Amino acid sequence: MSREITFKSMFQRWMLVYVANFLGSIVLAFIFYFSGLWKTGSSALGASAVGIAYHKVSLSFAEALFRGIGCNWLVCLAVWMALAARQTISKIFAIFFPIMGFVAIGFEHCVANMYFVPTGIILQGGAGIAAPATVDPQSLGWITFLWKNLLPVTIGNIIGGAVFVGMSYWGAYLRPSSEAPTKAL
């Protein structure tokens, strides 16, 4: 908004970070799979991961979008508050409560979902963890993840962070004044 970088440069940086987060999340999902931790509690942990993935891909587009807005609104507020804090403990508290809020409320974040949903897909396929009894086993897959979860949540995250936090802060603190400067008497 202050034109310190171009929109093209911003989108290039966003894409680099987005793709790197996606690749890192897939690596982490495979580490979880090969570690065998999903077998914990007679595979209850793995079944829970598959159930979470099914829940995330079963949201409507609007539900995923608005959950994404709420999430990144809180995440970006946490970052802004941490940047404003001076002491380490203040930074920790500034980050903790908004992040705890988004998790407790059940909002959606695209980067978190880049781990949770692929983990469910991998466990369903490689570990043979069955789908919850109330869902169609075919409803969890890569295309469903990309179109029914990742796309609307990403759009929501952009709106929540860029509009509700970034543009609001810019408007409140950085927007050039429309008034002509007055001379002091």
CATH code of residue 77: 1.20.1080.10
Q: What is the pLDDT of residues 12-44, one digit of tens each?
A: 999 999 999 999 999 999 999 999 999 999 999
Helix (H) or strand (E) holding 1: none
Residue 154 falls inside a structural domain: yes
Residue 150 falls inside a structural domain: yes
pLDDT of 51 reads 93
pLDDT band at 151 (very low <50, low <70, confident <90, very high): very high
Q: How far apart are CA 53 and CA 120, in angstroms?
A: 5
Angle between helix 151-158 and helix 61-84 axes, rounded to 10 deg: 40
Residue 185 falls inside a structural domain: no
Counting Cβ atoms within 10 Å, is residue 108 exposed (0-12), middle (13-18) or buried (19+)? buried
Residue 140 falls inside a structural domain: yes
pTM of the model: 0.86
Report the pLDDT averaged over residues 65-69: 98
Residue 21 falls inside a structural domain: yes
Residue 69 falls inside a structural domain: yes
User: Given a cut of 90, is residue 133 above it in pLDDT?
Assistant: no
Provide the residue range defining the domain that includes 88: 7-172
Residue 179 falls inside a structural domain: no
Report the pLDDT averaged over residues 130-148: 87
What share of the chain in percent tops pLDDT 90?
A: 76
Q: What is the pLDDT of residues 161-179, one digit of tens each?
A: 999 888 887 777 777 776 6
Could you give the number of structural domains in the chain? 1
